[in-house]
Chains A and B, each alone.
Chain A
């Protein structure tokens, strides 16, 4: 029972820790890292589902007859590359924010915005 669900539960713990970083940290770079952690935990969830007990990597050889499911592997390969694209875009936006505000801290950015509204 525990071995059957352990992967899923650790994945959920990792996911929630990534989520915690995203919603509780005011540093924008750390938010992106939290998002990456969340993303990777979803990858682990998918790959956990593709595993077959006693199976081997889905590369056809004469010696093996049980293989793990190749379909989630393909989906996650695509997701990894898309994930890197989104974090690259996020980091570029952060660099741009830093150029305009001189900081990457959310609370400082809001303070500056409030000051500008008052003037």
Chain B
């Protein structure tokens, strides 16, 4: 086993352990912080898998902004989780069946790192060989994001705008007028 595989394996195992710990926790503050740890570990995994742009977006946006939003919400709603009894059997049965079906599905997938997988033979070679001529910047991810698939990014901006409007409508001053009286 080479060093790349070992790093990959240990980060994946750490991710799984973080989620196991997170499921068992009761304090919401600790849960929010361990979800930040989970995001940082996945950012590390993205670096190990050559996705550097994804890694720093995940570290800044996933681990940073999401954790801040979670902490802000917890500051409003209180940090202790009310413990309630509920049935465990049904959720475990559901995830076992779904997980087994998905694992059966992976058996048809190309092996990890396979250079001849269908995903690598369609449009990606064009981006890798032509983008420095057509767009003129060395980072292919940026060329695709801002130029070849610029409309996707425009749509993404529309999504952020809609979410921001939604948050402002839900939490802004006008929302107080419609508050139900208890």
A interface residues with partner B (beta carbon < 8 Å): 3-10, 12-21, 23-24, 26-27, 29-30, 32-33, 36-37, 40, 43-44, 47-61, 66-78, 80-89, 91-96, 98-100, 102-105, 107-108
Say whether B69 faces chain A, with CB atoms less than 8 Å apart.
yes
Contact A24–B88 (Cβ < 8 Å): yes
Q: Is the interface of A mostly helix, strand, loop or mixed?
A: helix
A13/B114 contact (C-beta < 8 A), A51-B49, A96-B175 known: no
Chain A residues positioned under 8 Å from B92 (CB to CB): 20, 24
Q: Measured between C-beta atoms, what is the minimum distance from A16 to chain B in Å?
A: 4
Answer yes or no: B7 CB below 8 A from chain A CBs: no
**Which residue of A is nearest B86, CB measured?**
A26
Determine whether the beta carbon of B117 is less than 8 Å from that of A49: yes
Q: Are A74 and B160 in contact (CB under 8 A)?
A: no
Assess whether B138 is in contact with A60, with CB atoms less than 8 Å apart: yes
Kindly report which residue of chain A lies nearest to residue B175, judged by CB atoms.
A96
**Is the beta-carbon distance between B69 and A91 smaller than 8 angstroms?**
yes
Cross-chain contact B58 with A43 (CB below 8 angstroms): yes
Kindly identify which residue among A9, A20, A52 contacts B103, using a CB–CB cutoff of 8 Å.
A9
Nearest residue (CB) in B for A20 is B95
Instruction: Tell me, yes or no, whether B3 is within 8 Å of chain A by CB.
Output: no
Contacts of B103 in A (CB 8 A): 8-9, 12
